[in-house]
Amino acid sequence: MRLLNIMVIGALILAASFVYKIKFDSTLQAERVAKVAGELRRERDAIATLRAEWGKLDSPGRIQGLAERHLALQPIKSTQFDNLDRLPDRPPVVVPPASADPIGAMLAPTPPDTTGSVPVPR
């Protein structure tokens, strides 16, 4: 009987130490969660501040003022625009001839595109 009482007391001491360890670990985890929640709140506040700054910096009135102050721009004149039907025709698309070596045809050098400012090579 005496041995049984000693074993029960030992089991109670082990159970109490196990419960204390679980309580200590849960308190430590709760502190970590609170710390991460605080960091998250600070980061969200920083994001909100940065979005407000971006909205202020991106406002059209501010950009207009900066453009007038720092750029020598002139107003657009109606003579700068033209109809699309007055555009020159597209240049013809040159299709390389089919050959026995399709990869070699892709690697072959092609003559440069000519424009109105460069004379046509002869």
Name which residue leads in pLDDT, 62 or 112. Answer: 62
Six token digits for residue 110? 């092609």
Output the pTM of the full model. Answer: 0.46
3-state SS class at 82: coil
* pLDDT-derived band at 14, boundaries 50, 70, 90: very high
Average pLDDT, the chain: 85
Contacts of 73 by beta carbon, 8 Å cutoff, 6+ apart: 67
Give the model's pLDDT for residue 95. Answer: 66
Q: What is the predicted pLDDT for the residue at 82? A: 81
The Cα–Cα gap between 91 and 44 comes to 55
pLDDT tens-digit map of 57-102: 999 999 989 988 988 888 888 888 888 888 888 888 776 666 667 7
- The Cα 46–Cα 120 span in angstroms is 61
